[in-house]
Structure 1
Amino acid sequence: MKQIRAFILFGLLFQLISFTSVAQSAKQKQLEAKRQQLQKEIKEMNSLLFTDKKKEKSVLTQVEDLNRKITVMQNLIRVTNDQANLLTREINDNQKQIGNLRKQLEELKEAYAAMIVTSYKNKSQQSRVMFLLSSENFKQAYKRLQYFKQYREYQQEQAAEIKNKTEKLQELNTSLLEQKKQKDVLVAENRESKKQLEVELAAHETLMASIRKNMASYAAQIKKKQQEADRIDREIERLIKEAIAESNKSAGKSSSSETFALTAEAKKLAANFEANRGKLPWPVEKGVVQLGYGQQPSPIDKKVPIMSHGVRIATSSGTKARAVFDGVVKAISVPRKGNPVVLIQHGNYFTVYSNLSKVYVKKGDKVTTKQEIGEVFTDVIAKQTILSFSVWKNTKTENPALWLYNM
């Protein structure tokens, strides 16, 4: 019984170790995927925003670019730290588990050795025969014979179990060595990232020092840019409300409603769009987010809020804008003092592509996923190629980062 209890305890302990290891491994994979994504984003930023030193950007544009890059670098350092800390916990857990496993394995081996000695002492044929002949009846003799057989099988099973657990212990040791190597690599990478961050922060501070000398002028530029964005958003909302009123009128519903009366075909399209939440392709083949969704502080004055109903994506000159999902071109608008905007309807959802220089589609066209719908405008003064992209459900905006893959 003592041996059986020992093996049961060993089995339960190993199951607990396996469960903990799987959970930590899943978390480690998530962190590694995030780290690689951030590294890719920094690489694309360097490629799209910081390669051509001959193109002198405005100070405001440089601050915006650096501010975003610094944020991503800080996120990379944080994620890498989380990975290293998780590995430290895993290493400590593994060391404890290895110690426990070794102790348990020694106890099992001692118990098994004692069992073998006892078995050997009672192994003689004469002892077996006498044990069987001393049975009171045939039934008891049969049971005793079965006991010999089961005892032999049990010995074989325990021998195999000890061998298996020994191999598992060796695997755990190998894993521990690999984890230590991974941690060393992460720590070294993080050290280099921190050095680079210090360089970027110094450059950012130099730019901010020049901005502070004429803060009123730069604040006015921020305010003007926000007013232009608000005006475009109001125009988009007006166009969507018109589309809703037109759709509801055709369906015999109230034209004052702010939600669509959908046909069966439109309902199916909306359901397919919703089913692809988080999996939609980006509206440009290559780009980085320069401004995220929602209210956030201005990069030059933290007290001044910026409200963004979509995302601004920086890309390279000549880049084509593309539809993120199947739909119908509902409207094409050219705001006053602005660049063309394309609205694509997906049932009761809209995706909006602003700041285009060329438009390749017309109102009523059916478009497919990744179909080119225009070319992104390049501002030769600001030295920027920026696509503004937003997602609307009826008359309300949603965060594009929740819809686009890996944003």
Structure 2
Amino acid sequence: MKLHKLVFILFFSVFAYSVSAQTANELRRKKEAIERDIEQLEKSLNKTASGKKLTLQQINTINAQIRLRQDKIGTINSEIKNLDSQISQNTNTVHTLQGQLGDLKKEYAGMIRFAQRNRNSYDKMMFIFAAKDFNQAYKRIKYLQQFSQYRKKQAGYIENTQQDLNGKIKILDKTLREKSDLLKEQERERERLGKDKNQQSAVLNNLSKQEKTFKQDIASKKKQQAQIDRAIRAAIQRAIEEARRKAEEEARLAAAKEAAARAAAIAKAKAENKPVPVAPPAAKTKTSSEALTATPEAARLSEGFENNRGKLPWPVASGQITERFGLHKVDQASYTNDGVDITTGDGATVRAVFSGKVVMVQNIMGRTAVVISHGEYFTVYQNLRGVSVSTGNSVDTKQAIGTVANTDGVPLLKFQIRRVSAPLNPEAWISK
């Protein structure tokens, strides 16, 4: 029973350690990804900060850097909690192994004392010959043989348990050192976060000095974005009208076929002096969503896009979201982002996040925007250069459609997802 208990404890501790190791690896990978993002944002910030003029991109980059720094501190906290769990678990295992080792040693000492009392052959022979019959003598012979074998096994158990105990103590020492290193790293990140927030305060103080220029800059960007949004809505409307025209043409042909069949049925009914068939109700006008998914191919695209919510690939291979979806207020200025802004590397390739059909490629004020239809869903890619697709082209998931252009010296992609014309938050659709 003691042996079974020991085996169970060791099995459970190994299983729990493997689970903890898996969690630790996941947290470590997440932290490394955050560190890469922070490093890239710092490079972008150095570019934007080198100019005297304060830009919206600079403010967004600092805010994104603070968010990432807070995420990293949260990840470190999770790592520390995971290590605390391992430390507690390994400490309990060490105590259990120490108790088991003590019991095994006591039991082994008892066997040694017994063996000492019966150490010569004469004592063993007397023990066997003292049996009352042959059957009992045979059992005593087997007992002595099994006792000798068990004593050897017991010595092996003691040795293995001691090795396991030493291994657990080493793991415990290593875990304690890792926790100490993480606590130091956490303290460093808190200091860096404090510096980032001081930088944010300095930038916002500087903003008050450049308020007029900054407001003009935002007004110019809003005007440019409004022009792009009008072009996007027009492209989506054209796609809806084209889908509706095709649906109506198919419905007209189906109605003509139905009318011919009904006319033949009426003629036959009159000739046979039977009741004339009642005319079917007129078809209802399709909604925009119904028109966009009227064909089986479009319906499959739309369903496939919807089923990949939260799993769509990013439109660039690497990058950080520096401006989120929705309303934003900076000092006295406010504006709405119908998508997200992704800061990426110089010359980064922009990719389609899902298969579909290109419905717009348009250059507006020196920047190209691409709109791709996926049934009733549309994805929008703004601030491109070197576009490699044309209107009417079919594209596959992750197919290159162009290269990201720079805004205020930083490569920035503006990305939107729309259902018909309503904007959706892309962070809910692309993979985490």
TM-score (norm 1): 0.77
Deviations 1:113-139 (A, max 9, x none): 32454466578543664587636xx6x
State the partner residue of 2:339: 310
Distance 1:107 1:205, change over 3 A: same
Distance 1:158 1:307, change over 3 A: farther
Classify the secondary structure of the residue corresponding to 2:315: coil
Gaps of 5+ in 1: none
State the partner residue of 1:400: 426
What amino acid does structure 1 have at the position aligned with 2:205? A
Distance 1:179 1:362, change over 3 A: same
Instruction: Quote the Cα distance in structure 2 between the aligned partners of 1:143 and 1:249.
Output: 98
How many angstroms does 1:362 deviate by?
A: 0.9
How many angstroms does 1:50 deviate by?
A: 1.5
Instruction: Quote the Cα distance in structure 1 between the aligned partners of 2:416 and 2:306.
Output: 15
Classify the secondary structure of the residue corresponding to 2:289: coil
State the partner residue of 1:209: 205
State the partner residue of 2:173: 177
Task: Choose the corresponding residue for 1:291, options 320, 323, 339.
Answer: 323
How many residues are paired up? 393
How many angstroms does 1:37 deviate by?
A: 0.9
- Within-5 A mapping of 1:234-253: 236=232, 239-240=235-236, 242-244=238-240, 246-247=242-243, 250=246
Distance 1:166 1:264, change over 3 A: farther
1:21 and 2:53 equivalent?
Answer: no
How many angstroms does 1:353 deviate by?
A: 0.6
State the partner residue of 2:286: 255
State the partner residue of 2:380: 352
Deviations 1:341-390 (A, max 9, x none): 212234554332112244321112123444332333434xx444321112
How many angstroms does 1:103 deviate by?
A: 2.2
Q: Which has the larger radius of gyration?
A: 2
Gaps of 5+ in 2: 252-284
Distance 1:52 1:331, change over 3 A: closer
How many angstroms does 1:146 deviate by?
A: 6.7
1:387 and 2:387 equivalent?
Answer: no
State the partner residue of 1:105: 101
State the partner residue of 2:260: none
State the partner residue of 1:321: 350
How many angstroms does 1:207 deviate by?
A: 1.7
Distance 1:299 1:109, change over 3 A: farther
Deviations 1:221-249 (A, max 9, x none): 65775676577557545644653564466
What amino acid does structure 2 have at the position aligned with 1:70? I
Question: Between the two proteins, what is the percent identity of the paired residues?
Answer: 28
Distance 1:99 1:307, change over 3 A: farther
1:64–1:299 Cα contact (<8 Å) kept? no
State the partner residue of 2:80: 84
How many angstroms does 1:35 deviate by?
A: 0.9
How many angstroms does 1:36 deviate by?
A: 0.6
State the Cα RMSD in Å.
4.0
2:311–2:429 Cα contact (<8 Å) kept? yes
TM-score (norm 2): 0.73
